[in-house]
């Protein structure tokens, strides 16, 4: 109960106790132009001769599709550039230079919709989520995002090719040319965005490249049968390797932080979108709320001297939260697999689970083997606890006799009980410490099984086709409840009759709670119960064979 209260407090208030990096200034939108004034954001002016660039407009819900279309309309197809690789099916908008619809081809929407890929980016109301990388500059022609023209409207990663480059072109009338290149790679969720800028003007031009993620907050809330997983913003840099900026934080104040390297992300259960700027540059991180939409982003500045050619770029990771791929993209990005405050224990547990899976090739059997390994690691601690319980069970008749004898004298009863414990060398609370030591490991494993995308739609045996969803026939939770009841029968009966009734009711309460828990979690709990019953039964037979 204390743990659950702490979790709830952290979720509601913990992320708000930030240091003074988030200012109280609110962005102000010019009602005439729809642009956000630069002064309200306190963004440093781009260093050119008296020119400055306004902050990019954040999208609104005006014009957002209200239905989840499987394909754009004909008008949209003529406007968007369609790109298909082995892992993505997406549409890029040249105007805003953003990805406004993206499907993950290797991840079906559900088992029932196995032919429909999971849609991570969408423009539907209530599910709006997009990634953009616009460029602005001190030149008047770059005060708004330039409208690029694409070489073609449809791209596909061909068989035998490992890389696909999508090029967009723009040029001004007075000698400024930009080529935007979006690079996709086979079997990769990393997307590179670069701008090759040629400045044939007589004066230098400063440019500012943004990487921003905009989304609508999730409407579904955690309930009794739905575990709370974090959806919101995350920022990372040297001083703070992983810090959540949730939607309530963005609503209260804008984030403004300058740091070298790092990344910014919007994450949800199993999937994430992140922008990774130049690790050697001084990057400006920010957040913004505009109506019902929330934005987190980062921008980097660069000056292109007169008559020179230079490149500015940013990298993104878009897709499932696969830890080794994310860590290869950027340090600490794998921590978006949000294991909570016990991540330092969860990480090695996941590593071990992954190694076991490489041998068995089945996540269900891997969970069973991991449970056995953890049980063996705590074998002696568990044995200490079960011996204490067995001794207490052996003393049960004598304790009952004392309670009957001194039922009207509580002080005397407690005194006699302590004498009995001392005489038999039994500590009634000695079984608690070994269990308490194991609790963090159990909770850490719980989050590993809940958060790992590898278990999403992972098949086990027979009717268990998805370890990330509940058992459709409730065989696992009912079996878990039975094993919990048997384990209760092996424990000594509490002296208080009311307490005894409460303890015996717990298996039924937990069975109801676990009915809609992910079957992978229930499988772990069931196997752990079976192993505990076997160990406790052997120890009880050795110490108290006649009870």
Q: What proportions of the chain, in percent to the nearest 5, are helix, strand and coil?
A: 35, 25, 35
List the single range of 37-41, 129-133, 471-475 with lowest mean pLDDT: 37-41
List the single range of 61-75, 176-190, 280-294 with lowest mean pLDDT: 61-75
Cα(452)–Cα(351) distance, rounded to whole angstroms?
Answer: 11
Judge whether residue 443 has pLDDT over 90. Answer: no
The fraction of the chain above a pLDDT of 70, given in percent, is 80
Task: Determine the average pLDDT of the residues in 465-469.
Answer: 87
Average pLDDT of the chain to the nearest whole number: 81
DSSP conformational letter for 166: E
Burial classification of residue 546, based on how many CB atoms lie within 10 Å of its CB (0-12 exposed, 13-18 middle, 19 or more buried): exposed
Residue-wise pLDDT tens digits, 417-440: 788 877 777 776 665 666 677 788
Question: Higher model confidence: residue 370 or residue 60?
Answer: 370
Which pLDDT value is given to residue 498?
Answer: 75
Angle of the 396-405 helix axis to the 379-394 helix axis, nearest 10: 40
DSSP conformational letter for 359: H
Q: Which residue do the tokens 């038999």 mark?
A: 424
Judge whether residue 85 has pLDDT over 60. Answer: yes
Cα(534)–Cα(386) distance, rounded to whole angstroms?
Answer: 11
Which pLDDT value is given to residue 226?
Answer: 54
- Could you tell me if 167 and 180 are in contact, meaning their C-beta atoms sit under 8 angstroms apart? yes
Cα(54)–Cα(41) distance, rounded to whole angstroms?
Answer: 10
The answer to whether the Cα torsion of 222, 132, 274, 241 is positive or negative is negative
Residue-wise pLDDT tens digits, 142-154: 988 888 988 889 9
Cα(35)–Cα(485) distance, rounded to whole angstroms?
Answer: 64
Between 2.70.98.90, 3.30.460.10, 3.20.20.30, 2.170.120.20, what CATH number should domain 64-219+227-338 receive? Answer: 2.70.98.90
List the single range of 88-92, 418-422, 519-523 with lowest mean pLDDT: 418-422
- Residue 69 pLDDT level (bands cut at 50, 70, 90): very low
Angle of the 432-451 helix axis to the 363-377 helix axis, nearest 10: 160
Q: Which residue do the tokens 């913003």 mark?
A: 233
List the single range of 4-8, 81-85, 286-290, 536-540 with lowest mean pLDDT: 4-8
Question: Higher model confidence: residue 497 or residue 460?
Answer: 460
Cα(496)–Cα(477) distance, rounded to whole angstroms?
Answer: 29
Task: Determine the average pLDDT of the residues in 232-252.
Answer: 92
Residue-wise pLDDT tens digits, 182-232: 999 999 999 999 999 999 998 999 999 999 999 998 765 554 555 578 899
Which pLDDT value is given to residue 74?
Answer: 45
List the single range of 250-254, 276-280, 399-403, 531-535 with lowest mean pLDDT: 399-403
Structure tokens at 517: 């828990």
* Domain positions in the chain: 64-219+227-338, 347-543
Phi-psi domain of 248 (left: phi exceeds 0; alpha: psi -120 through 50; beta: other): alpha
HSE value, Cβ hemisphere, 13 Å, CA-based, for 113: 10
Judge whether residue 256 has pLDDT over 80. Answer: yes
- Residue 490 pLDDT level (bands cut at 50, 70, 90): confident
Structure tokens at 280: 């050697």
Structure tokens at 260: 């070298």
Residue-wise pLDDT tens digits, 332-365: 999 999 888 888 899 899 999 999 999 999 999 9
Which pLDDT value is given to residue 219?
Answer: 66
Closest to 535 measured CA to CA, from 371, 395, 424: 371
Edge-first strand order for the sheet with 176-185 is 149-150, 163-171, 176-185, 190-199, 308-320, 271-276, 263-267, 232-236, 243-245
Which residues touch 402 (CB under 8 Å, ≥6 apart)? 413, 416, 417, 420
- Could you tell me if 336 and 272 are in contact, meaning their C-beta atoms sit under 8 angstroms apart? yes
Cα(31)–Cα(331) distance, rounded to whole angstroms?
Answer: 41
Judge whether residue 37 has pLDDT over 50. Answer: no
Cα(104)–Cα(505) distance, rounded to whole angstroms?
Answer: 45
Which residues touch 331 (CB under 8 Å, ≥6 apart)? 236, 241
The fraction of the chain above a pLDDT of 90, given in percent, is 45
HSE value, Cβ hemisphere, 13 Å, CA-based, for 411: 0
Range with top average pLDDT, 51-60, 189-198, 501-510: 189-198
Which pLDDT value is given to residue 56?
Answer: 44
Range with top average pLDDT, 275-289, 483-497, 506-520: 275-289
Which pLDDT value is given to residue 227?
Answer: 58
- Could you tell me if 311 and 196 are in contact, meaning their C-beta atoms sit under 8 angstroms apart? yes
Closest to 103 measured CA to CA, from 137, 76, 68, 133: 68
Phi-psi domain of 340 (left: phi exceeds 0; alpha: psi -120 through 50; beta: other): left
Q: Cβ–Cβ contacts within 10 Å for residue 436, how many?
A: 11
- Could you tell me if 523 and 367 are in contact, meaning their C-beta atoms sit under 8 angstroms apart? yes
Which pLDDT value is given to residue 39?
Answer: 33
Model pTM?
A: 0.78
Judge whether residue 30 has pLDDT over 60. Answer: no
Cα(166)–Cα(184) distance, rounded to whole angstroms?
Answer: 8
Judge whether residue 276 has pLDDT over 70. Answer: yes
Structure tokens at 401: 């006799």
Which pLDDT value is given to residue 271?
Answer: 95
Cα(292)–Cα(466) distance, rounded to whole angstroms?
Answer: 34
Task: Determine the average pLDDT of the residues in 100-105.
Answer: 94
Cα(486)–Cα(317) distance, rounded to whole angstroms?
Answer: 48
Cα(153)–Cα(161) distance, rounded to whole angstroms?
Answer: 19
Which pLDDT value is given to residue 494?
Answer: 64
Structure tokens at 125: 């109301």
Judge whether residue 71 has pLDDT over 60. Answer: no
Question: Partners of 226 in the beta sheet?
Answer: 223
- Residue 236 pLDDT level (bands cut at 50, 70, 90): very high
């Amino acid at each position: 109960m204390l743990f659950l209260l702490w979790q709830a407090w952290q979720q509601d208030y913990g992320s708000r106790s930030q240091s003074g990096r988030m200012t109280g200034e609110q962005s102000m939108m010019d009602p005439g132009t729809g642009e956000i004034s630069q002064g309200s954001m306190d963004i440093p002016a781009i260093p050119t001769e008296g020119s400055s660039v306004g902050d990019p407009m954040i999208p609104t819900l005006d014009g957002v599709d209200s239905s989840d279309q499987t394909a754009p309309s004909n008008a949209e197809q003529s406007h968007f550039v369609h790109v298909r690789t082995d892992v993505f099916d997406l549409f890029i908008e040249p105007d805003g230079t953003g990805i406004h619809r993206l499907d993950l081809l290797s991840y079906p929407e559900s088992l029932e919709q196995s032919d429909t890929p999971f849609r991570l980016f969408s423009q539907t109301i209530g599910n709006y989520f997009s990634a953009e990388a616009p460029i602005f500059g001190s030149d008047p022609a770059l005060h708004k995002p330039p409208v690029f023209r694409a070489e073609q409207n449809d791209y596909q990663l061909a068989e035998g090719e490992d890389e696909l480059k999508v090029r967009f072109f723009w040029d001004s009338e007075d000698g400024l040319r930009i080529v935007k290149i979006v690079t996709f790679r086979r079997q990769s969720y990393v997307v590179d965005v670069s701008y090759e800028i040629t400045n044939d003007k007589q004066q230098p031009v400063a440019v500012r490249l943004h990487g921003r993620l905009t989304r609508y907050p999730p409407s579904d809330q955690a309930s009794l049968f739905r575990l709370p997983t974090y959806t919101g913003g995350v920022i990372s840099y040297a001083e703070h390797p992983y810090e959540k900026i949730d939607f309530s934080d963005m609503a209260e104040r804008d984030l403004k932080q300058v740091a070298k390297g790092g990344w910014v992300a919007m994450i949800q259960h199993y999937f994430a979108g992140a922008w990774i700027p130049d690790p050697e540059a001084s990057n400006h991180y920010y957040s913004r709320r505009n109506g019902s939409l929330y934005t987190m982003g980062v921008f980097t500045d660069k000056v292109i001297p007169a008559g020179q050619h230079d490149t500015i770029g940013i990298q993104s990771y878009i897709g499932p939260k696969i830890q080794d791929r994310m860590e290869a993209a950027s340090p600490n990005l794998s921590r978006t697999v949000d294991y909570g405050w016990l991540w330092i224990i969860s990480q090695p547990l996941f590593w071990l689970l992954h190694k076991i899976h490489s041998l068995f090739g089945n996540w269900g059997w891997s969970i069973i083997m991991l449970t056995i390994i953890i049980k063996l690691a705590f074998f002696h601690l568990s044995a200490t606890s079960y011996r204490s319980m067995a001794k207490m069970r052996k003393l049960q008749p004598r304790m009952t006799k004392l309670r009957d004898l001194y039922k009207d004298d509580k002080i005397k009863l407690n005194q006699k009980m302590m004498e009995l414990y001392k005489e038999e060398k039994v500590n009634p609370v000695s079984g608690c410490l070994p269990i308490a030591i194991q609790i963090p490991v159990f909770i850490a494993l719980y989050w590993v099984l809940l958060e790992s995308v590898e278990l999403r739609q992972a098949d086990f045996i027979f009717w268990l086709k998805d370890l990330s969803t509940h058992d459709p026939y409730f065989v696992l939770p009912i079996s878990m409840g039975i094993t919990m009841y048997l384990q209760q029968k092996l424990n000594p009966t509490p002296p208080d009759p009311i307490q005894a009734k409460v303890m015996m009711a717990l298996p039924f309460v937990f069975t109801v709670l676990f009915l809609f828990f992910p079957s992978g979690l229930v499988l772990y709990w069931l196997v752990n119960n079976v192993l505990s019953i076997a160990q406790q039964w052997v120890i009880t037979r050795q110490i108290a064979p006649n009870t």
